[in-house]
Structure 1
Amino acid sequence: MNKFFIMLLFFTAVLSARYESYPLEACQAFDNMKHTKNTDNLYLDPNRRYTILERHHKNQTLVLIQGENPAQRWVDYRCFPDEAPKNVSSQNSRSDAKEVLNTKKYKYTGPAEISKDNILALSWHHAFCQTHRYKKECKRNLDTLFRFKQKEHYFVLHGLWPQPKSKMYCGVPSHWVKLDRDKRWDRLPDPELSDEVEKALQEAMPGYVSHLHKHEWIKHGTCYGTDADTYFETAVKLLDQLNRSEIKRFFVQNAGKVVSIKEVRAQFDRAFGLGTGHHMQMECKGGLITELWLHIGGQSDDLAIGLKKGKRAPSRCSQGRIDRAGF
């Protein structure tokens, strides 16, 4: 009999502890406390009330999500307010949750000044696709390889990265950071771009079709100190200057050959001024030159000026083959 009363008291306490609340952000809802499984890739809706079943159990909150299987899901305890709402109408609770969400979701709190120490990462597109054939931006090469010889030879935009390396995700909500790190870039928000900049970016960054621009903006662009339009416009301008220089012509003329970093740096010295070559590092994979990382200083969108103000860059790759078009 005593055992019966103890169980009754336990279930009464559990039921009385239940309450409904709006989440503060779009948190992932996991099947288990270890956060190793999320059936249907489920996220909480900040505009929907959920039944709280258990709070602060090992820094987790157990919620009931009607219509899902399983319906009971574990979320981080920070997803909900610390206390159950008291004498507050449903509409007020909804408004409070929205206010917190909008502050975190739409208002970036990045640096007030433009970054003066950056890396402009440019990919030699043929080599990138040689090592990433599964990417959407590379599939057209497979489709056209046997129909016509690809005539495009150019560097494409990977990103513009404020330094030091730890400078990333400035003012970005945690759930977006999680999406980005999980490479679910299609679920990231679109950066606000003018039609002109968006068109130029689509041409300069083949990875646009794989949502690379969303990743670059969330991770790096938010720390650059400008809006997304200026950030990408600057990056495209810098890329265009390289593609109009002797560097691009050198890569085209030596396609299929192995070249040293000394040779490439000499081309930079000729194109952009003595010493600028040492502000460039080569990245290689599988014996191929895949990228050039240009260390740029100051706030100018003139590549020669930026390279002269940039830092000296050691390179892990001393030589590599310039890949030809096709696989």
Structure 2
Amino acid sequence: MYKTLLSLMFFSSLLLARYEAYPTEECPAFNNMKHTKNTHNVQLDLKKKYTILQHHKGQNLILIKGEQPAQRWVDDTCFSKDKELRDPMNVKPVESKVVRIEDELTKTSISTDLTEHAKKYEKEYTKKYEYENISKQYLLTLSWHNAFCETHRYKKECKRSMFSFGRPNYGDKHFVLHGLWPQPKNRLYCGVEKHYILMDKHKQWNRLPDLDLNAETRKRLQKVMPGYASNLHKHEWIKHGTCYGTDANRYYEDSIRMVEQINASKVGDFFKKQIGKRVTLYQVRAAFDRNFGVGTGKRVELKCNKGLISELWLHLGSGSDNLGDLLKRGKQTRSHCQGGFVDKAGF
């Protein structure tokens, strides 16, 4: 009798948790939480009521009758929490809904053009943060792409087309850009709206706004950041770049310049010559000292994965375009990894 009562209470709570509502946006309805698939390209109809089954991490699981699958995931912003707005008879046209960025933008209508939204966002961001609380220390993270692909073979940037065999990629013999991170490490998501933070944390990087990069910067970035193919550049900007104090174009111009300085240096030559061999932290730091000045090697940290050197972390200061000067102004660091193999291209 007791178990039966508990069961009834449990199922009653599930029923009470459900409710019907009209959407306030014509959002796409996805099969999964990552929003990677939308069978039949289903869009919410503003004139229809939908059953809200569950709310989880900024998204709603809803029921769409007649569809397969019938249960779909949409952002919680697709449904207003105001009861009056759930009835289309009591709501103004959706186009009149106002959103604000950092409480400074007003009367900005919702736009489905994410690129245009990104331009407005970056303009407001730059105005507010350009001269406020700019970091004095940075962490430049560089990946050895061959080692990354050994453990991430499913990534777009690690797949080669049948036409690319015999033609080396930039990442085969060069370090590539992972990110440029303002310090301290908890300096993240500066001025970023909550729903974009949720998208980023759930790795829905393809849904983040496009960045307003000029053609030249975009071309250079695609070369030095293979992860661009997986929208890594959007993730890095949202999470770290927004705390850099400039717009996205300047942030990536500075990042690219640093990567190119590394690969054109004796450090870059050292790693090219050591492909397929094991190197030590001592050797790597010595290469930095020879090229960028005595003591710069102490600002270098090795990252390893399964015996392979996976990344270089460079602890930098600020106030210069010269990587050697930035290293000298950076903080000395320890490295848990003391050495590893420099992986060659291919699996």
TM-score, structure 2 as length reference:
0.71
Paired with 2:77 and 2:169, the residues of 1 have a C-alpha distance of: 54
- What one-letter code is carried by the residue in structure 2 that aligns with 1:95? S
Paired with 1:57 and 1:124, the residues of 2 have a C-alpha distance of: 40
Deviations 1:126-164 (A, max 9, x none): 22222322222222288756x577795111111111122
The 5-angstrom pairing of residues 186-201 of structure 1 reads: 186-201=206-221
SS in 2 for 1:134: coil
Deviation (angstroms), 1:278: 1.1
Aligned to 2:275: 255
Q: Does 1:112 align with 2:114?
A: no
- What one-letter code is carried by the residue in structure 2 that aligns with 1:84? E
CA contact (8 A) 1:295 1:310 kept: yes
CA contact (8 A) 1:27 1:79 kept: no
The 5-angstrom pairing of residues 1-327 of structure 1 reads: 20=22, 22=24, 40=38, 48=46, 51=49, 70=70, 76=76, 80-85=80-85, 90-91=91-92, 94-97=95-98, 99=107, 102=110, 106-107=120-121, 109=125, 111-113=129-131, 114-140=134-160, 147=166, 152-327=172-347
Structure 2 runs not aligned, ≥5 long:
1-15, 100-106, 112-116
Paired with 1:169 and 1:307, the residues of 2 have a C-alpha distance of: 25
CA contact (8 A) 1:241 1:303 kept: yes
Deviations 1:82-114 (A, max 9, x none): 452599974455412465775997535473334
Greater mean alpha carbon deviation, residues 169-178 or residues 252-261:
169-178
Paired with 2:268 and 2:217, the residues of 1 have a C-alpha distance of: 23
SS in 1 for 2:177: strand
Paired with 1:254 and 1:26, the residues of 2 have a C-alpha distance of: 51
SS in 1 for 2:129: coil
Aligned to 1:5: none
Paired with 2:198 and 2:63, the residues of 1 have a C-alpha distance of: 23
Q: 1:124 to 1:306 in 2, by over 3 A?
A: same
SS in 1 for 2:211: coil
- What one-letter code is carried by the residue in structure 1 that aligns with 2:144? W
SS in 1 for 2:252: helix
Q: Say which one has the larger Rg.
A: 1
Paired with 2:271 and 2:232, the residues of 1 have a C-alpha distance of: 25
Deviation (angstroms), 1:271: 1.1
Paired with 2:153 and 2:72, the residues of 1 have a C-alpha distance of: 40
Greater mean alpha carbon deviation, residues 93-102 or residues 246-255:
93-102
- What one-letter code is carried by the residue in structure 1 that aligns with 2:196? W
Structure 1 runs not aligned, ≥5 long:
1-13
Deviation (angstroms), 1:326: 2.7
- What one-letter code is carried by the residue in structure 2 that aligns with 1:259? V
Paired with 2:294 and 2:109, the residues of 1 have a C-alpha distance of: 51
Paired with 1:265 and 1:26, the residues of 2 have a C-alpha distance of: 52
Q: 1:80 to 1:150 in 2, by over 3 A?
A: closer
Aligned identity (percent) is 41
Deviation (angstroms), 1:267: 1.1
Greater mean alpha carbon deviation, residues 104-113 or residues 119-128:
104-113
Paired with 1:314 and 1:192, the residues of 2 have a C-alpha distance of: 37
Paired with 2:135 and 2:45, the residues of 1 have a C-alpha distance of: 36
Paired with 1:201 and 1:178, the residues of 2 have a C-alpha distance of: 25
CA contact (8 A) 1:29 1:73 kept: yes
CA contact (8 A) 1:137 1:210 kept: yes
CA contact (8 A) 1:50 1:63 kept: no
Q: 1:41 to 1:227 in 2, by over 3 A?
A: farther
TM-score, structure 1 as length reference:
0.75
Number of aligned residues: 307
Deviation (angstroms), 1:176: 2.3
Paired with 2:156 and 2:54, the residues of 1 have a C-alpha distance of: 43
Deviation (angstroms), 1:237: 0.3
- What one-letter code is carried by the residue in structure 2 that aligns with 1:115? S
